[in-house]
């Protein structure tokens, strides 16, 4: 018997440019489902970053703005302050948020901006060739760490959620994953809760970190990439709610 999955209206009916096994497509669907379930499609403004998700506006059917690398929180701040009735979210990878955009996200949370941030952590720079990212774990082989990341040369992986949870202006911080059906369900709950806080007018920033596979630059099959999240990434980036 053939299984037919209903398409959520906010998710466009098209083929994405993402690599086989990439987690972005799953994350996009979870966001689109959340938008439709909350009935906020006409009020939502998304901020597309530089990175693998640079063409996100081709896949989610809401108003979208493409911004410079690392600057989604700054643009989201302007959008929300000038349109307080809108639901504003940024969608950022680890290269965008945790490298060039570190100051942006920290200060947006410090100011308690009323925005929702979806942070996709795949521990590597995906769009530019698989170089080491701030979130690359120790020992992980990348294009720029062929012997594996070494703490004495490249430092430790940056634990963004732990840092964000320390800031009073961040009202909700949770780390989730896309490594299996149960994990995906938990991620959906976290994303929906983050959006709900903004819909309810909660004063502060919400961030959901999502551990996501990158089979292409991890150089492993999609199924193995999911296992690597469970067996390796979660040791460095433990799942769970850190605040809120």
3-state per-residue secondary structure call for 182-215: HHHHHHHHHHHHHHHHHHCCCCCEEEEEEECCCH
Instruction: Compare 226 and 7 and report the one with higher pLDDT.
Output: 226
Q: What was the pLDDT predicted at 7? A: 67
pLDDT tens per residue, range 89-118:
999 999 999 999 999 999 999 999 999 999
User: Is 4 among the domain residues?
Assistant: no
* Phi, psi (degrees; rounded to nearest 5) at 95: -65, -35
pTM for the predicted model, two decimal places: 0.95
Please state, for a pLDDT cut of 90, what percent of the chain lies above it.
91
Q: What was the pLDDT predicted at 130? A: 81
Q: What was the pLDDT predicted at 15? A: 92
SS3 118: strand
Round to whole Å and give the CA distance between 131 and 153.
Answer: 15
Quick one: which H or E segment has residue 92? strand 87-93
* Phi, psi (degrees; rounded to nearest 5) at 34: -60, -45
**What is the average pLDDT value for the chain, to the nearest integer?**
95
Round to whole Å and give the CA distance between 93 and 125.
Answer: 8
At 187, list the tokens.
Answer: 């991620």
User: Is 6 among the domain residues?
Assistant: no
User: Is 11 among the domain residues?
Assistant: no
SS3 141: coil
Positive/negative CA dihedral, 72, 78, 84, 86: negative
Residue-number span of the structural domain to which 161 is assigned: 24-243
* Phi, psi (degrees; rounded to nearest 5) at 77: -60, -50
pLDDT tens per residue, range 180-209:
999 999 999 999 999 999 999 999 999 999
pLDDT tens per residue, range 113-164:
999 999 999 999 988 888 999 999 999 999 999 999 999 999 999 999 999 9
- 99, 97, 130, 98: which is closest to 22 by C-alpha? 130
Structural domain tally of the chain? 1
User: Is 213 among the domain residues?
Assistant: yes
Q: CATH code at 110? A: 3.40.50.970
Q: Which residues contact 243 (CB under 8 A, 6 or more apart)?
A: 164, 165, 170, 171, 172, 173, 174
User: Is 214 among the domain residues?
Assistant: yes
Q: How confident is the model at residue 49 (pLDDT cuts 50, 70, 90)?
A: confident
Q: What was the pLDDT predicted at 5? A: 52
- Please classify residue 3 by burial: count the beta carbons closer than 10 Å to its beta carbon, then call 0-12 exposed, 13-18 middle and 19+ buried: exposed
Q: How far, in Å, are 74, 80, 192 from residue 11 at the CA level?
A: 26, 23, 16
What's the rounded mean pLDDT across residues 34-53?
Answer: 95
At 199, list the tokens.
Answer: 């819909």
Please check the confidence at residue 6 and state whether its pLDDT lies above 70.
no
User: Is 3 among the domain residues?
Assistant: no
User: Is 84 among the domain residues?
Assistant: yes
User: Is 157 among the domain residues?
Assistant: yes
């Amino acid at each position: 018997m053939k299984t037919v999955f209903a398409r959520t209206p906010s998710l466009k009916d098209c083929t994405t440019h993402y690599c086989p096994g990439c987690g972005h497509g799953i994350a996009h669907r979870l966001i689109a489902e959340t938008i439709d379930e909350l009935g906020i499609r006409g009020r939502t403004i998304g901020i597309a970053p530089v990175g693998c998700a640079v063409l996100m506006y081709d896949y989610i059917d809401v108003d979208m703005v493409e911004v410079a690398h690392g600057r989604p929180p700054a643009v989201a701040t302007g959008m929300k302050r000038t349109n307080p009735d809108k639901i504003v979210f940024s969608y950022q990878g680890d290269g965008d948020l945790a490298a060039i955009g570190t100051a942006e996200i920290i200060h947006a949370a410090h100011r308690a901006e009323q925005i929702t941030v979806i942070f996709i952590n795949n521990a590597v720079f995906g769009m530019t060739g698989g170089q080491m990212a701030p979130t690359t774990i120790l020992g992980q082989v990348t294009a720029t760490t062929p012997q594996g990341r070494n703490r004495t040369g490249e430092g430790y992986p940056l634990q963004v959620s732990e840092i964000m949870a320390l800031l009073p202006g961040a009202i909700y911080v949770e780390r989730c994953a896309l490594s299996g059906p149960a994990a995906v369900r938990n991620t959906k709950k976290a994303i929906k809760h983050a959006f709900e806080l903004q819909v309810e007018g909660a004063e502060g920033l919400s961030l959901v970190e999502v551990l996501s596979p990158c089979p292409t630059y991890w150089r492993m099959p999609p199924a193995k990439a999911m296992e690597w999240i469970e067996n390796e990434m979660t040791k460095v980036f433990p799942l769970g709610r850190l605040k809120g």
